Amino acid sequence: MLTLIIGSVIFLSALYMGFKIKNFYLERKKYYLDLNDFIVYYENEIKSYKLRLFDIIEGFTTFRKGIFSSDLKSFIENTKSGNGANFCFSKKLLCVSDKETVSNFFRNIGKCDLEGELNNIRNFRNRFSERTVAVQNKSEKEAALYMKLSVLTGLAVMIIVL
């Protein structure tokens, strides 16, 4: 009886770890999709209304929740305090090269005229939309893989314990 309880606890803990890992990959996918949505929103707002960056970010984050929205809010706070885009964007969800690319993009926002800004936005959007699709596919595959792996590992350990 005790071995059944121990096996069940091990199986449930492996399943829990699988859910946590799956959640990480789904959060990563959502982060990249939100970043992509922000770039499109930013480009449309700049073209149409020529609003200030802080107003655009506040408009974007008003009805959105999540890690990317909180990163944008911390970007505003850091910019107002003089730190800029340093250490604002999620360290765990972005790859190192993507973190540098995003930080550079936000560091260079508003440093040129409207046409130059629109060109920078288009270049970043094109580069990052490809990256978003790649991360989306990879995240879905790895989330499913780790979930299956955790179930199989839990079952295997449970069988060994029994």
Report the domain count for the chain: 1
CB 60 within 8 A of CB 46: no
Residue 85 pLDDT > 90: no
Could you report the per-residue pLDDT of 86-141, keeping only the tens digit for each? 667 777 888 888 888 888 888 888 888 889 999 999 999 998 899 999 999 999 99
User: By residue range, what is the domain housing residue 110?
Assistant: 2-161
Q: What is the pLDDT of residue 105?
A: 87
Own/partner pairs, 113-116, CB within 8 angstroms, 24+ separation: 114/46, 114/50
State pTM to two decimals: 0.88
Cα dihedral: 131, 132, 138, 141 (round 10): -160
CB 150 within 8 A of CB 17: yes
